[in-house]
Structure 1
Amino acid sequence: MADRISSITDLPLDVIVLVFPYLDVKSFLAFCSTCKGLHQNSISLDPAYWSHATRSTFRVPNQPVVQHDGVRWQKMYRRLLTQSRVYTWGSTTYNRLGHGYDPDAVRVARHAQRRFQHRQSTRCSFPTEMEKTRELGVIADMQCGGWSTTLLTSRGALYTAGVLDGMQGAIQSSSSADGPQPLGFPAGYPASADQAAYDEPTVAIRQFSSGRSHILALSDTGRIWSWYAVHRPALQIKFLNVDLKESPASGQSKSTTSLYGHVKKVVAGWSRSSAYIHGVGIVVWDPVQRDGDEETDATLVLDSAEVPCTGYQRIKGASRPAEEKQKRGQEIGVVTNHIMLEHFVVFATDTGKVFCARFGDQNAVESILELRSLRNSTGAACDVQGSFRSLAIFKNGEVITAHTDYLEACWDARHSNPDQTDIPGLKRIPALQQTNVISVAFGDYHFLALHSNGKITSYGTELQACGALGLGGDGDPEGRARGIRYTGFGHDGRMLPHAYTHGRQVWFEREKKRWITFMTSGGTNPDEAKERMRMFVTEVSVQGEISEWFEQQGRDWDKDPQIRDADEDGLGAYFALSVSAAGWHSGSLVLVNETLADRVTDMCTIRDPDLTDSEPDGDSEASPGILAASLTRLSNMGQAVINLGGNRNQTPAGQAFTNFLDPVNHGASPREGYKYVWADKSFPRLRLSDGREMPGRGDFDEWRYGRPEWKLGERFEQEVTAHW
């Protein structure tokens, strides 16, 4: 007979964890603190518990790549309570970003000609916090649509900035002063979950998806809602040929053991809507609108299409399935995720396979096709993400990207080349391989990757220098320092091949933007740096290396030993939880440690040593220190940059000279009486990878993390940067 159990710690771990789901966070922490045996990391940082607690409390969507990282989920839970912020960048038209103009850009634009001011007013190239979002409470998720940005609060309410369909000219967006607008429900329902007098699970949203011009959402009971305009109430989706079932609350059935007919997820695509329904599979239909009757609260979808072979389920304890279904399950597996592209549906299964299908008339799908080159040889499940014409596959630490041209080629060759041998189009961008990428968000011509360390990297092209990459710059030359090459009549900004080796991080510290502005203005001695800057502007290879040097120097400012004590959980000053992109703009949900961020700001700022003790502290009308010194050297700076032919922000030469006379404008000083720590630094002088030494009189600048070995050349550029 087994010894009598006298303590809960004598129980096996797999028995103890069965208690966890019944404990709220306060009770769970108290439980773990009762003894050393329960305080060990395998219990107190149980990933299943913290993932469930975070997702159920804040409605944060699951992140399969890190679902077993208990430390990450616990830190997210703690910081979401007070530190979630929403940042957006890119094209500002229709107020899709939910904030006013970039303050740095506006300050410069005040002195510029009208054409330049118009360009500035329609873009924001640096991440800027959305206005009036902190009063919404905890933001659980955000997604970008074609002309909009939509937020989900922890209470289950949706708010949108911009318009859902920018192609309808009569629709006008609200101003940023109004803040994001709530998405409402038909008469008879609470206006939104935030405004409900009691918990109403039929309108509390637990998952949503932004398409190009419409939004789909799934309520706690499993009800599907669809919006086609911000100021119009939602329509409930019902199907003629599919019997949907709802749960009593929290999106989980308590009255039955079967999930059949329950909606697991909704996905809005370019011009289609879809839902994954247990036991049915992926169901596709056209977006819906009212026919003039504003009192209509639901619509019956008469023409829906089911994607074949996507409804298989593995049910624990069920009797042995029929031989045909058993074979189907082994060959295809259970759908774990799906995406809606312009003409294709793509889905991944738990057998490590990826399938696609092309839509026909009325969204009909006749057959599916396995993308055999994307199969996970280990048999482990992989993930698929994407939108419009781009997709990414995650497997074994790899991130493989592709354009729909690849899907078209595989589909056209499904009979003549079933093994898809030698079909080009799959890309393995070096910066995305084995770098713990969690998700990839695609716009029309750009995309961003979120890494598990909370950093975001950008790739692709921002049309008309709209700022969708989030790297700052506002055109030449600051954007050049981040690896963007501006070309053509439209001034399109395309990432250089160098940027695909280690990526270019999106920075949230505005001091880094000021630093880049100062350095690309010529640094402390623009005349001495003139020849180096000429190389930087005219030679692509030099620009690539200079941009990588700036990239290394700009990383990890919040990891400095002087301020390490303010980083209690190791997540840094800005930790991105999610990233989203669509059309010409992007956004991110970010945890902000304001104490640490303020320490970074303080670390970058020092008193101007030329000030006398009798001068006021920072608010004097004139400062004979850095301001007086700048007036002398900036005369040369303005002419030096103008002579480079770089056409700095396309301003008239005389006006560019005027702007340079303000040390705050060009990034040398945060305010009168102070200067930045880089105010005495020169534009970098490097030993280039081709053996040349950049001209100049100062010492050579060293690489912070060593000069990379770039994989460059025409073939690399064609394979990695095609379609971007």
Structure 2
Amino acid sequence: MTDKATSITDLPLDILVLVFPYLDAKCFLSLCSTCKAFQQPSIRLDPAYWSFATRSAFRVPNQPVVQHDGVRWQKLYRRMLTQTHVFTWGNNGHSRLGHGYGESAPGGPLLLPRRPGRMRFGGRANCAFPTEMEDTRHLGVIADMQCGGWSTTLLTANGTLHTAGVLDGQVTLASHDRISPLGFPAGYPSTATESRYYEPSVAIRQFSAGRSHILGLSDNGKIWSWYHAKKAALQVKFAHVDLREQATEGSSAKQASAFGHVEQVMAGWSRSSAYVQGIGIVVWDVVERGTNDGDTDTMLVLANAEVPKTSYRRPKGKERESEEQRALGEEVGAVLNYIILEHFVVFTTDAGKVFCGLFRDQNIVDDILELRDLRSANGTPVDVQGSFRRFAVFKNGEVITANQDYLHQCWNARGTDSTSGGLYKIPALQHNDVISVAFGDYHYLALHSNGKITSYGTELQACGALGLGEEGPQGKARGIVYDRFNRDGRLLPHAYTYGRQVWFDSRKKDWIQQLIQNAPNENEEARQRNDLFEEEANVQGEVSEWIEQEGREWDKDTGEDGLGAYFALRVSAAGWHSGALVLVNEELAKKEPSYSYEGKSFPRLRLSDGNEMPGSGELDVWRHGQPEWQLDAVS
């Protein structure tokens, strides 16, 4: 009896996917081209492979909502090699936006309130339309970006952090320093970029920007903390927590996460934290060098707190667990993700549950509370994102938003059967492929899987944090109402039904500026429609939706890969400013839209109440149909 020759194609898929991560992208594609069996989508577009390849090559953070979309991850891998750009908008105090250096507001320098008894000077105070950060093209591939209280920080694909603005927020005069790398203490390479060889101790694989400090996690598991953009990092160690460094050999074939390995760092409003395997969520105060610390490179944290019941990890292989561990797994589960808010820690587990814990003095959390209203009914995983005082929970296509008031109500009512209000479902975010939501102090932005960003909330003093245009015709055309006394810009309720997309093509901005400004001079009918737009909020809301639909039509040409001219990978917000990491197809971005907007008159619409706007000509068409409004949304 002759042995039958065995082919690699005879192996089951669950075995093949264990082999694929050992191949780089070029070798993987070459393997797939060898035979028809490997051309099937389940192999060629394997989401596990392309997610791993993209995150490994470019240090892109995982995005749980789309982790099973192999087509998306493959397209991102191809375009990230050449097309990553960083855009910022909002308040530019301390030059936190990374552009507009040295520019002054009309009439000279602008005085901005800093704290009682003090004023600070600003350059260009606000930027209401996304503008690319300066000095970033030479950094190579940008893997991640995050906004802090007075800063914007970038992570490059080689593991270097670069910051614009200031970290400590204690500078009286606005900083005009350009973006610069965050450095390491003597004895280490100054940055991963400057190192002549790969040094896993300083190559940052994940980072988190807090209000006034930044945490970084290196490839080998070291925790680094920066409290000043111009001072070297401090390595964080604990007197009572045993951290173990991770091996960096073998890419995805690294050993399974084990006890003491740091999996994630999270910088909060005024706290630092890390998730440590087998220990749980560890919280400590922001570290700084004291007057007698000199150039020390390490800070030993003597007082830290551990969030109760967050240490559980599912057994692997032949591991056995105690009855106590098994009970903890049933009651809580293994932590999937967590956030640090001003007063609470909030985390999700693989049991489809959401928990919170209230911080006391010295970061102590006495107990945790399940937020039962946020539990996934079928036990599917849920995600949580948020900062400062607001957060969002993702489950089964829904995005539920809340703030700390809700958490306080739940905490105070624990042990009772009372349920609390304070959970909101913004219509534009429901079952609309939302990947993430980023929160500033008063505004927030959602990133959708199609690469679009929608904006919500309020921008104080018309700072431009919504990214929808400047105070006046631009902002009003996008649905913003400005308070005549404090200039706060608030999105109308109409904007919450379908959302208001952040535009990156400046031609759209020019178009609506022209559309609104020219209306009074076109003819009497256009002037009457414009007057109605200026005077009645409901008309403004509906006209802004018509403009929104026109803007979406502009983007109809999505190119060969379907990602379009501008495809956002990441969105972030903090304080009064925002930012996004965007793939830009330069060739597609320069193309004229498929139809002309030149000579467009101020729209004449049939409104939702049945009335027609003034005029005798034909009514303008709603590109995507007459809206069905849900005007009871809360921001």
1:697 deviates by 3.6
What is the identity, as a one-letter code, of the residue corresponding to 1:429?
I
What is the identity, as a one-letter code, of the residue corresponding to 1:557?
W
Q: Which of 176, 188, 191 is residue 174 of structure 1 equivalent to?
A: 176
Q: Could you tell me which residue of structure 1 aligns to residue 285 of structure 2?
A: 286
What is the identity, as a one-letter code, of the residue corresponding to 1:686?
L
Deviations 1:70-120 (A, max 9, x none): 0000000000000000000000110000011799xx9xx76x798899999
Q: Which of 590, 614, 618 is residue 582 of structure 2 equivalent to?
A: 590
| CA–CA separation in structure 2 for the residues paired with 1:29 and 1:137 | 24
| CA–CA separation in structure 2 for the residues paired with 1:101 and 1:197 | 32
Change (3 A) 1:172 1:160: same
CA-atom RMSD in angstroms = 2.3
Q: Could you tell me which residue of structure 2 aligns to residue 92 of structure 1?
A: 92
| CA–CA separation in structure 2 for the residues paired with 1:319 and 1:7 | 34
1:250 deviates by 6.2
1:251 deviates by 10
1:15 deviates by 2.1
Q: Could you tell me which residue of structure 1 aligns to residue 522 of structure 2?
A: 525
- Tell whether the 8 Å contact from 2:94 to 2:122 is kept in structure 1 after alignment: no
| CA–CA separation in structure 2 for the residues paired with 1:475 and 1:102 | 22
- Tell whether the 8 Å contact from 1:226 to 1:237 is kept in structure 2 after alignment: yes
- Tell whether the 8 Å contact from 1:558 to 1:597 is kept in structure 2 after alignment: no
SS in 2 for 1:700: coil
- Tell whether the 8 Å contact from 1:445 to 1:461 is kept in structure 2 after alignment: yes
Deviations 1:179-211 (A, max 9, x none): x11000001110100111110100000000000
Q: Could you tell me which residue of structure 2 aligns to residue 386 of structure 1?
A: 386
Change (3 A) 1:322 1:708: same
Q: Could you tell me which residue of structure 2 aligns to residue 66 of structure 1?
A: 66
Q: Which of 412, 416, 426 is residue 423 of structure 2 equivalent to?
A: 426
Q: Could you tell me which residue of structure 2 aligns to residue 215 of structure 1?
A: 214
What is the identity, as a one-letter code, of the residue corresponding to 2:324?
E
Q: Which of 551, 554, 579 is residue 554 of structure 1 equivalent to?
A: 551
1:21 deviates by 1.2
What are structure 2's unaligned runs of at least 5 residues?
113-120
1:6 deviates by 3.9
Q: Could you tell me which residue of structure 2 aligns to residue 690 of structure 1?
A: 609
What is the identity, as a one-letter code, of the residue corresponding to 2:528?
E
Moved more, 242-251 or 186-195: 242-251
Residues 231-242 of structure 1: matches in 2 within 5 Å? 231-242=230-241
- Match status 1:126 vs 2:133: no
- Match status 1:489 vs 2:408: no
Q: Could you tell me which residue of structure 1 aligns to residue 15 of structure 2?
A: 15
Q: Could you tell me which residue of structure 2 aligns to residue 144 of structure 1?
A: 147
Residues 489-638 of structure 1: matches in 2 within 5 Å? 489-523=485-519, 525=522, 527-560=524-557, 567-600=559-592
SS in 1 for 2:592: helix
SS in 2 for 1:311: coil
Q: Could you tell me which residue of structure 1 aligns to residue 49 of structure 2?
A: 49
Stretches (4+) displaced over 3 A: 112-120, 250-258
Deviations 1:423-453 (A, max 9, x none): 1100001000000000000000000000000
| CA–CA separation in structure 2 for the residues paired with 1:525 and 1:101 | 38
What is the identity, as a one-letter code, of the residue corresponding to 1:460?
G
What are structure 1's unaligned runs of at least 5 residues?
605-676
Q: What is the total number of aligned residue pairs between the two structures?
A: 625
| CA–CA separation in structure 2 for the residues paired with 1:159 and 1:74 | 27
Tell which structure's C-alpha radius of gyration is larger: 1
- Tell whether the 8 Å contact from 1:102 to 1:124 is kept in structure 2 after alignment: no
TM-score (ref. length: structure 1): 0.83
Q: Could you tell me which residue of structure 1 aligns to residue 76 of structure 2?
A: 76
Q: Could you tell me which residue of structure 1 aligns to residue 412 of structure 2?
A: 412
1:318 deviates by 3.7
1:487 deviates by 1.0
Q: Could you tell me which residue of structure 2 aligns to residue 197 of structure 1?
A: 196
Change (3 A) 1:11 1:271: same
What is the identity, as a one-letter code, of the residue corresponding to 1:222?
G
Deviations 1:285-316 (A, max 9, x none): 00010013341000011110000000001121
1:380 deviates by 1.0
Change (3 A) 1:251 1:581: farther
| CA–CA separation in structure 2 for the residues paired with 1:454 and 1:82 | 17
| CA–CA separation in structure 2 for the residues paired with 1:703 and 1:574 | 24
SS in 2 for 1:424: coil
- Tell whether the 8 Å contact from 1:247 to 1:254 is kept in structure 2 after alignment: no
Change (3 A) 1:253 1:439: closer
Change (3 A) 1:254 1:299: farther
| CA–CA separation in structure 1 for the residues paired with 2:217 and 2:582 | 24
Change (3 A) 1:188 1:101: closer
- Tell whether the 8 Å contact from 1:102 to 1:126 is kept in structure 2 after alignment: no
Change (3 A) 1:90 1:193: same
1:133 deviates by 0.3
- Tell whether the 8 Å contact from 1:387 to 1:442 is kept in structure 2 after alignment: yes
Q: Could you tell me which residue of structure 2 aligns to residue 613 of structure 1?
A: none
Change (3 A) 1:526 1:203: farther
Q: Could you tell me which residue of structure 2 aligns to residue 652 of structure 1?
A: none
| CA–CA separation in structure 1 for the residues paired with 2:146 and 2:326 | 38
SS in 1 for 2:518: coil
1:247 deviates by 1.6
Q: Could you tell me which residue of structure 2 aligns to residue 467 of structure 1?
A: 464
| CA–CA separation in structure 1 for the residues paired with 2:530 and 2:608 | 17
What is the identity, as a one-letter code, of the residue corresponding to 1:684?
P
What is the identity, as a one-letter code, of the residue corresponding to 1:225?
W
Q: Could you tell me which residue of structure 1 aligns to residue 166 of structure 2?
A: 163
Q: Which of 710, 716, 719 is residue 629 of structure 2 equivalent to?
A: 710
Change (3 A) 1:398 1:251: farther
Q: Could you tell me which residue of structure 2 aligns to residue 24 of structure 1?
A: 24
- Match status 1:226 vs 2:229: no
1:170 deviates by 5.0
1:323 deviates by 1.2
Higher relative helix content: 1
- Tell whether the 8 Å contact from 1:446 to 1:469 is kept in structure 2 after alignment: yes
Deviations 1:226-261 (A, max 9, x none): 000000000000001101100232698989766100
Residues 645-656 of structure 1: matches in 2 within 5 Å? none
| CA–CA separation in structure 2 for the residues paired with 1:699 and 1:287 | 63
What is the identity, as a one-letter code, of the residue corresponding to 1:507?
W
1:174 deviates by 3.4
What is the identity, as a one-letter code, of the residue corresponding to 1:695?
P
Q: Could you tell me which residue of structure 1 aligns to residue 116 of structure 2?
A: none
- Tell whether the 8 Å contact from 1:354 to 1:370 is kept in structure 2 after alignment: yes
Change (3 A) 1:480 1:255: closer
- Tell whether the 8 Å contact from 2:257 to 2:277 is kept in structure 1 after alignment: no
- Tell whether the 8 Å contact from 2:22 to 2:253 is kept in structure 1 after alignment: no
Moved more, 686-695 or 311-320: 311-320
1:489 deviates by 1.6
Change (3 A) 1:116 1:296: closer
What is the identity, as a one-letter code, of the residue corresponding to 2:575?
G
1:556 deviates by 3.8
SS in 2 for 1:494: strand
Moved more, 227-236 or 119-128: 119-128
Q: Could you tell me which residue of structure 1 aligns to residue 327 of structure 2?
A: 327
- Match status 1:681 vs 2:600: yes
| CA–CA separation in structure 2 for the residues paired with 1:408 and 1:19 | 49
Deviations 1:393-439 (A, max 9, x none): 0000000000110000000000233xx42x11000010000000000
TM-score (ref. length: structure 2): 0.95
